[in-house]
């Protein structure tokens, strides 16, 4: 028997459990389950590992992608560079190794959905705004660097990039790709959205919302109303989920 799962603080609505349960059924993967493990604090992780002897891998979500780092025995080089982990592999000796599949999921989805549509490739000077500075933003940052797309962070406080109050028509004219890495707009807070000046968006803008529930967030709706194109985080989720499965099944 092998058990995989997701750790986070609140896991009422999980893409991962549904995705992997359906995957196991569809591909006839036997003696394998995917469970949700809500942890009030990350300090509960060692107890979870101890109490779940069949556990072989975990996904990590809000707010533990950074907090989990001290609890790992090994961290993959890419995850070290990103400074965030969303995949943990547990080998037969109980060694916990950390990886980041968010990077892979975001980068590949951006290539597949944007570059292959020639949206970004038409402009050699495309620039991006990263909304939010949490764990997911770190993977986005490294992916943009590897794609040679300049970026600026946007947050509520000063000190790292711009604040939301500093966004104006000039900034949005210069930055055509806007990526929401914050949880704003996630179910059940569907009436929330990042406070950017949507009135300055137009046909040349592309909004990428890492939120996937709801599938059409208020951030996306407000952009589309101004002529912008928009996608949600589902393509990234599918890609990162398959990458997680690949990592868990690599030979120890």
Classified as helix, coil or strand, 72 is: coil
DSSP 8-state code for residue 69:
G
The whole-angstrom separation of Cα 127 and Cα 175 is 5
Q: Residue 211: CA atoms inside 13 Å, Cβ hemisphere, count?
A: 26
- Please confirm, yes or no, whether 243 is among the known catalytic residues: no
The whole-angstrom separation of Cα 179 and Cα 46 is 34
Asked whether 244 and 87 are in contact (CB, 8 A), the reply is yes
Q: What are the Cα distances from residue 20, in Å, to 39, 113, 115, 198, 210? A: 20, 23, 29, 37, 20
The closest alpha carbon to 84, from 92, 75, 93, belongs to 75
Q: Which of 9, 26, 50, 65 is catalytic?
A: 65
* Residues forming the active site: 65
């Amino acid at each position: 028997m092998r058990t995989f799962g997701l750790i986070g603080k609140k896991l009422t609505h999980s893409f991962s459990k549904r995705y992997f349960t359906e995957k196991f059924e569809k591909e006839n993967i036997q003696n394998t389950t995917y469970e949700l493990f809500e942890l009030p604090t990350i300090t509960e992780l060692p107890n979870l590992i101890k109490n779940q002897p069949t556990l072989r891998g975990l996904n990590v979500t809000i707010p533990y992608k950074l907090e989990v780092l001290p609890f790992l025995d090994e961290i993959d080089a890419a995850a070290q560079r990103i400074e965030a982990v969303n995949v943990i592999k547990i080998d037969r000796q109980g060694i916990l190794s950390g990886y980041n599949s968010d990077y892979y999921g975001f980068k590949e989805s951006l290539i597949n959905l944007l570059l292959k549509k020639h949206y970004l490739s038409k402009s050699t000077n495309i620039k991006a705004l990263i909304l939010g500075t949490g764990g997911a933003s770190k993977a986005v940052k490294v992916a943009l660097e590897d794609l040679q797309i300049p970026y600026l962070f946007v947050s509520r406080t000063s000190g790292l990039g711009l604040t939301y109050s500093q966004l104006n028509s000039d900034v949005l004219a210069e930055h055509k790709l806007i990526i929401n890495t914050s949880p704003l707009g996630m179910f059940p807070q569907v009436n929330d959205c990042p406070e950017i000046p949507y009135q300055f968006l137009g046909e040349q803008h592309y909004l990428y919302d890492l939120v996937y529930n709801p599938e059409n967030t208020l951030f996306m709706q407000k952009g589309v109303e101004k002529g912008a194109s928009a996608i949600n985080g589902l393509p990234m989720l599918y890609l990162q989920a398959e990458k997680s499965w690949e990592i868990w099944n690599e030979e120890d």
